Amino acid sequence: MTEDLHIRTEGRAGRITLTRPKALNALSHPMALALEAAIDLWREDPAVDLVILDAEGERAFCAGGDIADVYRAGKAGDDTAGRDFWRDEYRMNAKLAEYPKPIIALMQGFVMGGGVGIGCHVSHRVVGDTTQMSMPECGIGLIPDVGGTLLLARAPGQLGRLLGLTGTRMGAGDAIHAGFADHYLPEAEWPALIAELCATGDPGRVAARALMAPASPLAEAAAGIDAAFSDTDIAQIVDRLEQHPEPWASDARKAILRNSPLSMGCTLDLLGALSPTDGIREALTNEFRFTYHAVAQTDFLEGVRAQIIDKDRTPRWRHAGTLTVPAEERQALLAPLGPSELSF
């Protein structure tokens, strides 16, 4: 187990609280394994009717995966640390999505990357006034993973392309509109909801307490988003964004020009690869094909260096100066892995 999670039972509920507020509750490899072990333990426990997943601190539910160890190992020439972390994390994500009991995630503050993976595939997803949710992986040379491509592919219209390529942050209204969350409830009311859930074991209390969601700026911009992101050619998307005077379009264009061309190209490929009948396992399997190669063959190490380690915000991408990455290079990163394929 790990001191970065508080795992216990209260009344009818199994409770998992992330306890790394100073690190914005970033999800480490040991935390992923401990979370999985807890839900495995409660799966057949008749004393546990539901699971509550929350986090300490006001700033973040979980701001992403803790990839510092992966970076250090990669710089030393070891890409197995990353593969092992992502393999175990993705299996845990699938278990959350397929869990036979209700799981209620209460997501305040930053909910990014790995935080989406643990909070946004469960049965009851609650957001509040401070929620800032995003999939910012293209900014560090990765792709939206932890099952994020499934959420993005299911988002209305072309919104998934906007969110995946740009890492646009969503407040509560946007998160619900995009399909990343279900219910809005001000955070001051979360303790009372948790107390009710523990006392009753009744997940219906979530919907009973939820309030009308705030307005969604992304929903209001839907027509423009659909028009701008109707093409899979990133250069064309940038050109179309220039034709929209709204702030969302300007922000999206700047993000695309800032992010990894290789990651963005592979992101569009991954979204296009999912069929309407595909689920969490297909999404995670596809994503693992990229992350399996991420340390050695993508922009990942450089992106982490620029954004997280040195923080100079000037990554030197492999395809800097162009938005077009050869299809053969993208296809090689997303090809089946044979005996190394992700298993569940």
State percent of the chain over pLDDT 70.
100
Query: Is this prediction's pTM over 0.85?
Result: yes
43 Cβ contact partners less than 8 Å away, ≥ 6 residues apart = 99, 100, 101
DSSP code string of 15-69: EEEE--GGGTT-B-HHHHHHHHHHHHHHTT-TT--EEEEEESSSSEEE-SB--HH
Segment 103-135, tens digit of pLDDT? 999 999 999 999 999 999 999 999 999 999 999
Tally of CA atoms within 13 A in the half-sphere of 105 that contains its CB = 26
R_g (Cα) of the chain, nearest Å: 19
**Average pLDDT for 204-233:** 97
Three-state DSSP at 184 gives: strand
Three-state DSSP at 125 gives: strand
Asked if the model's pLDDT at residue 72 lies above 60, the reply is yes
Asked if the model's pLDDT at residue 1 lies above 60, the reply is no
Q: What is the pLDDT of residue 129?
A: 98
State percent of the chain over pLDDT 90.
96
C-alpha distances out from residue 41 to 44, 133, 223, 281, Å: 7, 29, 46, 22
**Average pLDDT for 62-85:** 93
Q: Which of 14, 64, 109, 114 is catalytic?
A: 114
The mean pLDDT of the chain is: 97
Of 51-55, 186-190, 197-201, 319-323, the poorest mean pLDDT is in: 319-323
- d(Cα 49, Cα 205) in Å, to the nearest integer? 13
> Tokens representing 334?
């997303």
* Active site (annotated) includes residue 160: no
Beta-strand pair 5-10/13-18: antiparallel
- d(Cα 23, Cα 39) in Å, to the nearest integer? 24
Asked if the model's pLDDT at residue 77 lies above 70, the reply is yes
Query: Is there a contact between 317 and 299 (Cβ–Cβ < 8 Å)?
Result: yes
Segment 237-286, tens digit of pLDDT? 999 999 988 999 999 999 999 999 999 999 999 999 999 999 999 999 99
* Active site (annotated) includes residue 278: no
Burial class (CB in 10 A: 0-12, 13-18, 19+), 318: middle
Query: Is there a contact between 224 and 248 (Cβ–Cβ < 8 Å)?
Result: yes
Q: Which of 137, 174, 182, 269 is catalytic?
A: 137
- Least Cα distance to 83 among 291, 331, 296 occurs for 291
Handedness of CA 150, 151, 156, 158 (dihedral sign): negative
> Tokens representing 177?
């509109």
Q: What is the pLDDT of residue 53?
A: 98
Q: Which of 14, 65, 128, 164 is catalytic?
A: 65
* Active site (annotated) includes residue 14: no
Q: What is the pLDDT of residue 3?
A: 86
Q: What is the pLDDT of residue 46?
A: 98
* Active site (annotated) includes residue 114: yes
234 Cβ contact partners less than 8 Å away, ≥ 6 residues apart = 165, 256, 261, 264, 265, 268, 323, 324
- Alpha helices by DSSP H, the chain: 29-42, 68-75, 80-97, 114-119, 148-154, 159-166, 172-178, 190-200, 204-209, 217-220, 222-228, 234-242, 247-258, 261-273, 280-297, 300-304, 327-333
Asked if the model's pLDDT at residue 224 lies above 90, the reply is yes
> Tokens representing 255?
């993000």
Three-state DSSP at 258 gives: helix
Query: Is there a contact between 126 and 190 (Cβ–Cβ < 8 Å)?
Result: yes
Which domains are present in the chain?
A: 5-340 (3.90.226.10)
Asked if the model's pLDDT at residue 2 lies above 80, the reply is no
**Average pLDDT for 158-178:** 98
Asked if the model's pLDDT at residue 166 lies above 60, the reply is yes
**Average pLDDT for 307-333:** 94
Q: Which of 145, 174, 287, 299 is catalytic?
A: 145
